[in-house]
Amino acid sequence: MSARIVPAAQFKAECLRLIDEMNQTGEPVTITRRGKPVAVLSPVPASPARSLIGASRGVVTRYDDPFAPVAEAGDWAAIS
């Protein structure tokens, strides 16, 4: 699969259409200025769907005493 080559002026004028075509075909677009490549636009690879089971693993903090106060009484501005 070869990359499509588009001059920068044409890319600027047809940006949204070129992005849609690139997403449909999967073919990268090379953008040139004065005939020299300056950027390559390529589609983002599809990521596999993640299962909800275990999605929070490693995110939740462990508390040894979940019923202990979180902060000291003097830390709250409403109390003082």
pLDDT in tens, 17-75: 999 999 999 999 999 999 999 999 999 888 888 788 887 777 766 767 878 877 777 77
Cβ neighbours of residue 41 under 8 Å, at least 6 residues apart?
A: 18, 19, 22, 28, 29, 30, 31
Superfamily of domain 1-43: YefM-like domain (3.40.1620.10)
**pTM of the predicted protein model:** 0.55
- Is 80 exceeded by the pLDDT of residue 5? yes
- CA distances to 46, 53, 66, 67, 74 from 28, in Å: 15, 35, 53, 56, 60
Provide the pLDDT for residue 69. Answer: 77
Closest by CA position to 37, among listed 63, 61, 9, 5: 5
* Pairwise CA distance, residues 22 & 35, whole Å: 21
